[in-house]
Structure 1
């Protein structure tokens, strides 16, 4: 899987065929689509890619599932694993945002019927102290 997780953005289409079901191809197609829609900077695309690769690897290794067969409980278990790994809430929210956008696009494209992130709550960010303290 690791050798299929990188490509340049801007030339794929989002419709998923049988030959594009490997996680790397799905992530590449998603990044291409986001780049075409929003014209994001390379660093933003790399963040999306990194977040989705992390999710795909966790899903494959820990849940034994493919990207397009994830369920809500898988997303919640991934977030819990991130907390156990001492990730910051802001980083977890960013990863969840990437995963949400990935599945929202696949629902719109008809690749999946239901969005597994739909009712997943974002982690609460810690309150910051006022700057004058």
Structure 2
């Protein structure tokens, strides 16, 4: 194993153990480091001799490959972290990637449901059957808490606190947070846990701790959640597209539209940086503008 491979492996272990990075982040960083290694080999540049001109050539090749600004930014961020690690370990004396500015990506406007669009979805499940009870609880939790689909599928029964009406969410980077849920979600959860879930669990019992189970009694996956949402849309006779993150976007948008402050929404969503939450402010700006244009006596002739 050459020096690069040794340092790469130590860096990945550092991400997992010290930084508590998610498996997806570790895998992406692994691919990015390996991609940069191939670039260095093709250009005959040693990893400890990388300088600004070499990085410019690397950037040029990324642009020629027609990668998005978001992807390029991630790759540069990865290499900056990798070389920071090498500097910390005393393998290099300075980080050459500190001289490079990360490209700013365009922040897409998040898709969300209007409140009226959501109402048919909450009426689509047949709550006299176990799967209908599960589906009702699932959509109430996704919209009622704004959690990510990966966070939703990892919920265990012990994470639900009916007395405080909160759920313990295991977020990115193994960070935990408590998120409250409302009356509708509480009723749907209690019905499902006391009735439908018990029936589903009896079919397997393999996922005794997980809250949301599939039709065979095993743990529900993220893919399974997406299939359930697609089914609910069809049963509600809606023509809209749906995905779990759209419910998360709707959760944040509706909170802000009804007067919630940005910091509280940030905490509920589990965003590390406020800038991640600020993508939702466009909605409140549009709403305020409409209110102004329709209400102020000097807004229109």
When normalised by structure 2's length, the TM-score is 0.35
Of 70, 73, 89, the match for 2:69? 89
Aligned-residue CA RMSD in angstroms? 2.0
1:30 alignment counterpart:
11
1:75 alignment counterpart:
55
Q: What are structure 1's unaligned runs of at least 5 residues?
A: 5-19
Deviations along 1:63-102, one digit per CA (max 9) or x if unpaired, are 2112222112211211111001100000000000000000
Q: Which has the higher contact order (CA 8 A, sep 6+)?
A: 1
- In structure 1, how many angstroms separate the alpha carbons of the residues matched to 2:56 and 2:76? 10
8 Å CA contact retained: 1:99, 1:117: yes
- In structure 2, how many angstroms separate the alpha carbons of the residues matched to 1:40 and 1:28? 14
- In structure 2, how many angstroms separate the alpha carbons of the residues matched to 1:95 and 1:130? 24
CA gap of 1:80–1:25, structure 2 versus 1, over 3 A, is same
Deviation at 1:130, TM superposition (A): 8.6
- In structure 2, how many angstroms separate the alpha carbons of the residues matched to 1:39 and 1:25? 20
Larger radius of gyration: 2
CA gap of 1:38–1:128, structure 2 versus 1, over 3 A, is closer
2:45 alignment counterpart:
65
- In structure 2, how many angstroms separate the alpha carbons of the residues matched to 1:119 and 1:58? 19
Of 100, 108, 111, the match for 2:88? 108
CA gap of 1:81–1:38, structure 2 versus 1, over 3 A, is same
1:50 alignment counterpart:
31
1:124 alignment counterpart:
104
- In structure 2, how many angstroms separate the alpha carbons of the residues matched to 1:104 and 1:130? 33
State the aligned residue count.
Answer: 112
1:10 alignment counterpart:
none
8 Å CA contact retained: 1:59, 1:65: yes
Deviations along 1:34-88, one digit per CA (max 9) or x if unpaired, are 2111122221111110011001111111x21122221122112111110011000
Q: What are structure 2's unaligned runs of at least 5 residues?
A: 112-282, 284-301
When normalised by structure 1's length, the TM-score is 0.75
Greater shift in the superposed pair: 105-114 or 81-90: 105-114
8 Å CA contact retained: 1:104, 1:115: yes
1:16 alignment counterpart:
none
